[in-house]
Amino acid sequence: MSDIFCRKAITKNRTLQKKLKTALLMTATLTALSSAIIGPALPKISQALSGYQQSDFISKVLLTLPALLIALFSPLAGLLIDRYGRIRLLEAAILLYALAGSSGFFFNELTPLATSRIFLGLAVAFIMPIVTALVGDYFCGEDRDRYMSLQSAFMALGGMAFIALAGWLAKRDWHYPFLIYSLGLLVLPMVVFWLHEPKRNEQDEQCRVSTQHDKKLFFLILTTAFITMAVFFMIPVQLPFLLRELGVPSPVYAALAIVTGTLAAALGSLIYSPLRRKLHFSQMYALAFGITALGYGLTALAEGWYSVLLSMVITGFGVGLLMPNPGLWIMEIIPAERRGHAMGRMSSAFFLGQFASPLLVAPLTFYFSLSSTFGLVGFVLVFISAGYFWYSRKKQQTTA
């Protein structure tokens, strides 16, 4: 009889774990969709706003405007979730996400569109650090590495599916992709019923992290996260316009190219966990930036849609290796009582990179073609890869 009760308890615990992971994975996917989902519709949004000067640039800023709000408010959100807890704030943020994001469907003018994107960014400013902090609260050790690898892959696959849907919808009307944000209304009940406020003191005893807060290393990780997102976000922002330069103007082809990259990113993220057992975080960065540099170099040399697809496979794989790295590295060096604030600052770095991406690329595209711009950025990534390779060698010599 006791064996029966034991088996039932194990089965119940596994079921609860599956529900918890499902809720976390779906919530994390919302952050992946926060900006990129309207990417395939950018050329048509630019046409709809043609009454404004620099409508191409304005449409790109609309895409990345939520990232600015996330960058500004994520550190504050991190402080609040450390003080007041995770789940209630997460529930409110998801509701705001669904309402603000989908409201773009009803608007035609710049001011209300920009306002809806601002509130969307405010919502994600809370969602992203809460989700990442919960990973640190719920998991530790190799379980944490495996979950983060799975989450990055799931976000890439979710992004692939919904960006493909956005491309199909954008072909009919640029308003329709905004409706995808209403997915938040489906995720909200999962959060309400399947997630619980973690008992962080108990988890801290199991997950040992360094009590030495290395500020220089933390700043290096945040800077790298900023660069990663500024570079990565060139894909949804600039790729539709690059394809237009190459004579492929349809948003469906742009969506398929982005989908190809996200599918490759999912594969890279799935491989991250086994690679991390053999490589330090700095070595992972050296490898991932090197692969991404190769992908951007091939993008610069692309002459048509199929060559762009090949470059997106390589680029996506490199990006998939990049994405889990900063969060896991920060969890290893930051004490648990400051985890929310640290993840808020990481979210800020990520999304500041997103917002800055078109602003940093604009001067390059003024003097060079988009193809040449991708090549120049790829050249910069080679130097970053070499820098982390040098850092990892120096670290090995220091610990030897």
Contacts of 261 (CB under 8 A, 6+ apart): 235, 312, 313, 315, 316, 319
| Better-scored residue on pLDDT, 8 or 179 | 179
Q: Please tell me the predicted confidence (pLDDT) of residue 255.
A: 75
- Confidence band for 9, pLDDT divided at 50, 70 and 90: very low
Q: What is the pLDDT of residue 209?
A: 54
Stretch among 136-145, 195-204, 293-302 having the lowest mean pLDDT = 195-204
For residue 375, is it within any domain? Answer: yes
Which pLDDT band, with edges at 50, 70 and 90, does 268 fall under?
A: very high
**The pLDDT value given to residue 399:** 66
Confidence of residue 3 (pLDDT cuts 50, 70, 90): very low
Picking from 52-66, 205-219, 361-375, which range would have the lowest pLDDT averaged per residue? 205-219
Note whether residue 208 is domain-resident. no
- Alpha carbon distance 118, 394 (integer Å): 43
> What was the pLDDT predicted at 206?
55
Q: What per-residue confidence (pLDDT) applies to 87?
A: 94
Percent of the chain topping pLDDT 70: 93
**Is the residue at 202 inside a domain?**
no
pLDDT digits (tens, 9 = 90+) for 45-89: 888 887 777 777 788 778 778 878 888 999 999 999 988 889 999
d(Cα 153, Cα 262) in Å, to the nearest integer? 9
Which residues span the domain enclosing 175? Answer: 15-196+213-393
Q: Among 1-15, 155-169, 331-345, whose mean pLDDT is lowest?
A: 1-15
Model pLDDT, residue 5: 37
Structure confidence at residue 227 (pLDDT):
92
pLDDT at residue number 397 = 72
Q: Return the pLDDT at 203.
A: 52
Structure tokens at 53: 């000067």
Q: What is the mean pLDDT of residues 256-283?
A: 89
Distance, in Å, from the CA atom of 306 to the CA atom of 120, rounded to the nearest integer, reads: 34
The confidence band for 95, taking pLDDT boundaries of 50, 70 and 90, is: very high
Q: Which pLDDT tens digit goes with each residue over 165-193?
A: 888 898 889 999 999 999 999 999 999 99
Q: Which residues have CB under 8 Å from 86's CB, separation 6+?
A: 130, 133, 134, 137, 197, 198, 340
CA-to-CA distance for 139 and 65, rounded, in angstroms?
32
Residue 206: inside a domain: no
* Predicted pLDDT at 204: 52
> What's the pLDDT tens digit per position in 10-28?
445 778 888 999 999 999 9
CB atoms within 10 A of CB 142: 11
Residues 263-272 have a mean pLDDT of: 90
Please list, in sequence order, all residues whose beta carbon lies within 8 angstroms of the beta carbon of residue 127, skipping any fewer than 6 positions away.
27, 30, 31, 90, 93, 94, 97
Answer yes or no: is 203 within a domain.
Answer: no
Specify if 4 maps to a domain: no
The residue-averaged pLDDT of 372-390 equals 95
CA neighbor of 175 nearest in space, from 338, 18, 41: 41
Residues 79-103: what's their mean pLDDT?
93
Listing DSSP states for 172-233 in one string gives: H-TTGGGGGGGGHHHHHHHHHHH-----HHHHHHHS---S---HHHHHHHHHHHHHHHHHHT
- Look at residues 38, 187, 37, 25 and name the one whose alpha carbon lies nearest to residue 98: 187
Q: Which residue has the tokens 């809460």?
A: 130
* Residue reference for tokens 């500024």: 230
Joined tokens for residue 371: 């193809």
Number of domains in the chain: 1
Cα 231 from Cα 238, distance rounded (Å): 11
Mean pLDDT of 252-260: 80
Instruction: Give the pLDDT score at 157.
Output: 81
Per-chain mean pLDDT for the chain: 86
Please say if the pLDDT value at position 371 is more than 70. Answer: yes
State the pLDDT at residue 7: 44
163: domain CATH number?
A: 1.20.1250.20
For range 143-172, the mean pLDDT: 84
Domain membership flag for residue 2: no
More confident residue, 78 or 252: 78
Q: Which residue has the higher pLDDT, 256 or 1?
A: 256
Does residue 201 belong to any structural domain of this protein? no
Cα separation of 387 and 160, whole Å? 31
State residue 34's pLDDT score. Answer: 74
Q: Please say if the pLDDT value at position 264 is more than 70.
A: yes
